[in-house]
Chain A
């Protein structure tokens, strides 16, 4: 098993004919993902490596049975692409686009909350279920099927951690990068809930970073609802206040959102927090034993 993305996922790629969309579609297909359609408004009718391209997401749903979407369109058009996928009834929407204005995400979230669709991202590396496929940027070679779930606000740090696990022989059920923006589609809490109920996930790794209070909200959820063990790391222990550390959401404001506060909140609810990111894999091994 896994969460959100599984063998029944039929993926439509929005922005399939663009540079990123086409490159990552090929990668995803070689990983074993079932990409059943592409959407590029105005290019409907063409064929991309044997994958039919449509003008509208609804066509991909009705003609190809698409139920998951990967979005690789530029920031000015991405909110519209997400709304279109929601409206077409797509249940898993993964948006890789970086640079969407926060107020646009406010608008998208208002709509999203009225539906049962899950949005991952934006500004995220995507989602991978090792034996079922992937949507997004994660490198193909790092994954191994197994029983550890992973939720992270970061990109390359996530690859680093997955690679650490795989090299130690620890496989993953599903790995998800939720994105580095102030407002993202799915939070730690949304996904922890799914992992807690996934029979094939035995442990969850959470990788947070400075800024906002998503980690504190996760702590509350872990305290009240979770029985499975967790291992956690917070990036940005040395970050100065008031500066945006690459991610739009990674900023310490008014003394709030520091790594120290978040680590404390996690430790208080029994998450196995590591100070050193090089120790995440070994920590997981020792907790699983």
Chain B
């Protein structure tokens, strides 16, 4: 789960990490009032779940409350396109108004769960190249990234702070300050089931203080069951509406740009089915995993979601029946297809337990299906249906 910058900064503040003075606004009028309260030069920052906002015109500065109001009017409601939003962009609904700081130095500080075999733990990353994306630094100058494993399991020890502080080339008077920030970030990471935490940049001001100028926090979806407070921070308007419907129905769905919809049980087989559609010369319209169990309700909901994507011109159902019997799946498909009055051409491929009974049911139904046996044959037939 992703949250907005202003929400992430609120969490930082709760853990005593210094952030610039500021507040979030829904309207230009509110922006003006906040700027007035701050009483100095401010930055106006679009709040969307994507990076690269500055280049896209989503961050402006203002020297007066009136200018802040004008900038907010330009940003709120704009469709912001960045390298992370995709070409369709994202509509800006809120702006963060913050005091502008006198910056001496920009640094990068982040924590991520490193999956590599010799780590498998949260790892603190720091770099003197603040403001740059860490992936870019890692690709160009990996030696400039300081990495410290948080062992055991996200606990803090002062050496970690020193490793970061001295590694960044900071004066010893600043090392204890940055160390304190590292300690608090680790605390947040562990207490809130964070999967990625970035302060980029962490700025050092001319008077020797650190501030989190930007903040990004992603949370482990599997940790949300024990993070009740975080659920309120979810902004559904930032997510693809069909994906939200799907997740409410317990179906894993991701919308893509193609026109062959697919319905599959199991995530690996669902990805493989997308790949097969592509290999057969088509483009997958989605990733859809109804789950290993694939109940009749799940299949019906999945069909509704699939068919509400207007780009879908043909459907491929690919089910491997294990514990779940193919005849039951066939029943579910037939029932769902008639209930929602499915008119799109469809290929159904069943394999596994009771496959013969399942295929027979499909053939005898009044609904129009093409039945496929082979894995690749199914994808080829689905692509052929597009013509």
Whether A139 and B353, one on each chain, are in contact in the complex, defined by CB atoms closer than 8 angstroms, is yes
| Distance in Å: Cβ of A111 to nearest Cβ of chain B | 10
Whether A236 and B275, one on each chain, are in contact in the complex, defined by CB atoms closer than 8 angstroms, is yes
Binds B, one of A4-12, A30-38, A56-64, A97-105: A97-105
Whether A154 and B266, one on each chain, are in contact in the complex, defined by CB atoms closer than 8 angstroms, is yes
Chain B 267-298: CB-based contact to A (< 8 A → 1; otherwise 0): 11111101111110000100101001000000
Q: Which of B224-276 contact A (CB under 8 A)?
A: 225-226, 252, 254, 256, 264-272, 274-276
Which secondary structure characterizes the binding site on chain A?
loop
| Distance in Å: Cβ of B86 to nearest Cβ of chain A | 9
Which secondary structure characterizes the binding site on chain B?
mixed
Binds B, one of A198-206, A246-254, A264-272: A246-254
Binds B, one of A43-51, A65-73, A82-90, A237-245: A237-245
Whether B352 and A246, one on each chain, are in contact in the complex, defined by CB atoms closer than 8 angstroms, is no
Whether A246 and B252, one on each chain, are in contact in the complex, defined by CB atoms closer than 8 angstroms, is yes
Chain B hits for A244, CB < 8 A = 221
Contact of A156 with B195 at beta-carbon distance under 8 Å, contacts A236-B275, A275-B279 already known: no
- A235's partner among B195, B225, B271 (CB-CB below 8 A) is B271
Whether B353 and A248, one on each chain, are in contact in the complex, defined by CB atoms closer than 8 angstroms, is no
Cα A216 to Cα B351 with chains together (Å): 32
- Could you tell me how many residues of chain B have their Cβ less than 8 Å away from some Cβ of chain A? 57
Whether A103 and B266, one on each chain, are in contact in the complex, defined by CB atoms closer than 8 angstroms, is no
**Nearest residue, chain B, Cβ from A160:** B320
Contact of A237 with B278 at beta-carbon distance under 8 Å, contacts A100-B222, A156-B322, A217-B116 already known: yes
Check: A1 CB closer than 8 A to any chain B CB: no
Chain A hits for B357, CB < 8 A = none
Whether A276 and B268, one on each chain, are in contact in the complex, defined by CB atoms closer than 8 angstroms, is no
- A236's partner among B252, B271, B374 (CB-CB below 8 A) is B271
| Distance in Å: Cβ of A191 to nearest Cβ of chain B | 13
The 4 nearest A-B residue pairs measured at CB: A154-B268, A246-B267, A156-B266, A139-B322
Chain B residues packing against A (C-beta within 8 Å): 84, 113, 115-117, 120-122, 133-135, 138, 151-154, 190, 193, 195, 220-223, 225-226, 252, 254, 256, 264-272, 274-279, 284, 287, 289, 292, 320-323, 351-353, 374-376
Chain A residues packing against B (C-beta within 8 Å): 23-24, 27, 75-76, 99-103, 105-107, 109-110, 125, 137-139, 141-142, 152-160, 163-164, 180-183, 187, 189, 207, 209-210, 212-214, 217, 233, 235-240, 242-250, 254-256, 259, 275-279
